Structures are given as C-alpha cells and as structure tokens.
A and B are shown apart, each in its own frame.
Chain A
C-alpha cells in the first residue's frame, strides 16, 4: 500500500490533498475528500468569519478525519481567519499567495500543521525556517494564481533544498501524476482541477460542462501585467482580458475592474460571458463527473500499479 511521510504527518490514509480553491472548496467537498482517505481543504476565501466557522463545524459533523483550511494571504480579513482556525482547532492550514510568517507562532501554538504553497526554492527554504511542517510546490500548470516555474522543474529543486516533506501540485490529474511526483522526490500531491468534477463539488453545471469539453490547450494565463497571473479556461472574459492586457490604452484600473467578481460569476452563476473559470492545464484529461472517493481511490490505485511495474524497466 502507498504510504509516505505526508500521510503520517497529516494523519491521512493517502498522500492526496485537495486544493483549497477559492469560492469553491466548501465543507461538503472537503469532508468527502477526507472521508475518501485524502485531505479535504476548505477555502477561507469568499467566506466571512461566521460563514467559515459554520463550514468548519459542518465538516467536523460530516467527517471524523482530518481536514484543512486554505487561507489566501492576499485576501482581506486574514487576521481574523488566522485566529478562527485556532479557535476551531482546525488540524491543517494551507496558505497561498504570500508569506504566512506573521501567523506562524499562533498556528504552531495551536498545534496546527502548516503547509504553505510555494513557487520557488528560496520561498520553500524560508517556510522551512519559520516552522512549516511541509510545503506544497506548485508549478504554473495549476489553475488559479500561478508562478512561472513548471512542476517538473520546481519539485525536484525544492526537494533538494528542504528537509520537510514536499507535496507536488500543478498539472497532476491522475495516478501517473502522483507516481511521477514521487519520482521527483515529492511525498504527496495536491489536486485542484480534478476535484472540480467531484460530484460533491458545488460549482455551476456550466463550469463542469466546460471542464469536460476542455482540451489540453484550453487554458490561458492572464494578469501578468498586474503581477498576479491567473490560469483560467479561455472563456470570452479571459480572451477579452488577454486582449486588454496588451492594449496600452487600457489603464490598470479598467483592467482590474474587468476581472472583478469573475470567479464568483463562474462558480455560482455559470456565466458564459462574464465568468472567470479557473482551471489547470490538466483540464483536458477530465472526462466525467465522479465522486471524491472514486477520484482519490483511482489516483492511488493507478500509482500503486505503476510502482509495481517499475522493476520491469530495469534489465
């Protein structure tokens, strides 16, 4: 059976984490992933404190297994969220889009396992130094906010630089991705896009259908001009943004207003024209809706099968 330092560290059965996708990852999805033996993660983004508290309590009712909360450090209200996860005794916190140093002391004191998302070696080293239990090395194949390095290049370099477990993310969609990540030195994986098609994921059906239809080249990165690049499906909105981005007649304010609320419009309304449908490059691999359990179990079974075959590569 597949075991790794990540499963031991987080108290889960399989080293498979579900990405804490903003506006999407709620208690229902997170609990389903945790029940399946992975680590479900609730996104703090898009919830005010009371709603997040309710989601955390709901997840605790739905599962006895560990789950996490993802805190996007660029968002507002981080200070309150940082305290809330301590009060509620959340087992794991993942962070994104910034440096969580300011909150580390209180999280470590509350016995929370802290797992920041990193996009560079220096950042991973810094996270290890301030006490992170593991890092998620996320390559630019991922959906949502992305860095420049690819998973293939980032993961082995981060693994060489830190002693804490490394979880690979970005471009991982099935057991081949898990096995490949472990070959690169990672002890686990985090998937976002694949879990968008979990039955327990409450995004609009239009969003799900777009993912099923998506091909390998269906995504685009926009927002480099603003310094916050985001990978999404090539929706009308994303194409318009891409056009405006390279038009010097469009000022930064107009550009940022164009995208405002776009993810929510995709998730809740399924708005074809105004939605910003975040997705990773792996979207082309997705063919159907499945339960979180089917997703987690098939990923693990495929990886185990691949590892059994490893020996046949050597004469």
Chain B
C-alpha cells in the first residue's frame, strides 16, 4: 500500500508512468536532485500525514518506503 502510493507520488512528480519507477532506484538514478528530493519528501509527508527526517540514509525509493512504513 505504502509502496504503491510512494511510487504514484514520484511518478506524478516526474510526469511519468508508475511502471517506469523501480523501488530499488536511487533518487540520483531517477535524475532527481537534492531540491527535488526535499520537495518530494514534503509531498509524501502531506500525503501520509507524517514527518520524515531527511538524512543521508534515504538514498533509494525503497529506503523512503521503509521509513514511511515505520511511521504509518
């Protein structure tokens, strides 16, 4: 559930199809820079009604999914 929603939000941000996003990919591989990442995290926080800590450990989409799963 979390995974689908995260990928949906990412796909919407990138204007691409959800199938094009693989959870093992890093933000860098998705061609998202640090400013994009901050904005996406803010969008995710609003969508899940949580507060995420942006740390260096959040490298891949999967890292973000796991961080969110711990909070919801």
Contact = CB atoms under 8 A, between A and B. Distances in A.
Interface of A: 98-99, 101-102, 119-123, 125-126, 129, 147, 227
Contact of B35 (A102, A120, A125, A129): A120
Contacts of B42: 122, 125-126
Given A99-B54, A101-B53, A122 B34 contact: no
B1 to A, nearest CB: 25
3 interchain residue pairs of minimum CB distance: A122-B39, A120-B35, A122-B38
Contacts of B33: 227
Nearest to B52: A126
A121 B39 CA distance: 8
A167 B40 CA distance: 24
A129 B41 CA distance: 13
A123 B54 CA distance: 11
A147 B33 CA distance: 11
Given A122-B42, A123-B38, A227-B33, 12 more contacts: A98-B34, A99-B34, A101-B53, A101-B55, A119-B35, A120-B35, A120-B38, A120-B39, A122-B38, A122-B41, A126-B41, A126-B42
Interface of B: 33-35, 38-39, 41-42, 51, 53-55
A122 B55 CA distance: 16
Contacts of B34: 98-99
20 contacts: A98-B34, A99-B34, A99-B54, A101-B54, A101-B55, A102-B55, A119-B35, A120-B35, A120-B39, A122-B35, A122-B38, A122-B41, A123-B35, A123-B38, A123-B39, A125-B42, A126-B38, A126-B41, A129-B51, A147-B35
B33 to A, nearest CB: 6
A99 B33 CA distance: 13
A164 to B, nearest CB: 16
Nearest to B53: A101
Contacts of B35: 119-120, 122-123, 147
Nearest to A127: B38
A123 B42 CA distance: 9
A120 B41 CA distance: 13
A123 B33 CA distance: 12
A266 B42 CA distance: 39
A71 B39 CA distance: 23
A98 B54 CA distance: 11
Contacts of A125: 42
B52 to A, nearest CB: 10
A107 B18 CA distance: 41
A125 B46 CA distance: 13
Contacts of A126: 38, 41-42, 54
Nearest to B54: A99
A98 B33 CA distance: 11
A136 to B, nearest CB: 15
Contacts of A121: 39
A125 B51 CA distance: 13
Contacts of A147: 35
A123 B39 CA distance: 7
Contacts of A119: 35
Nearest to B33: A227
A48 to B, nearest CB: 23
Contacts of A129: 51
Nearest to A99: B54
A219 B54 CA distance: 34
